[in-house]
Amino acid sequence: MKVGDLVALPRRRNKGMGIILRYKESSERLNLHFKSLSSPSDYWSGSRNDNGMFLGESVEFADAFFLFNNWTNHPPRIKTKFVYIKWFQKPSEYHATKVRLDEGWYPLEWVQKIE
């Protein structure tokens, strides 16, 4: 997948439709910091601004990285590839019928290109 592709979230009840605006892989520093935590939720206990700046990432991207990797099995398989999606039709989100945000970071492995 690349920037400009139309995509959906195939595992959701309402798959949605959006366009990829950015592609980003997590930095080695971010991956190492994640592995060093006793629990992924430890990231949220500090100042998010300090964590994101320290890790050399935007706070928005660092938040998404830790949020989506917080749901992994143990030992965690870290999600490292992310896409920033602008939604034209919002997908469903867990029990909600639509996601709250018009755009955001999502793990690449969750996204499917619309042919």
Name the residue with higher pLDDT: 81 or 52.
81
The overall average pLDDT reported for the chain is: 78
Peptide bond into 40 cis (omega under 30): no
Predicted confidence (pLDDT) per residue in 1-45, tens digit: 899 999 999 988 889 999 999 998 877 777 777 766 666 556 555
Give yes or no: residues 68 and 34 share one domain.
yes
Domain of residue 69 covers 27-78
* 76 pLDDT above the threshold of 80: no
Name, in order, each residue with C-beta under 8 angstroms of 95's C-beta and a sequence gap of 6 or more.
Answer: none
**What is the DSSP code string of 36-100?**
HSSSTTHHHHS-HHHHHHHTTS-HHHHHHHHHHHTT--SS-----EEEEEEEEEPPPBTTBSS-S
Question: Looking at the 3D structure of the chain, how many domains does it have?
Answer: 2
Give yes or no: residues 31 and 72 share one domain.
yes
Give yes or no: residues 42 and 74 share one domain.
yes
Residue 88 structure tokens: 């034209």
Give yes or no: residues 33 and 70 share one domain.
yes
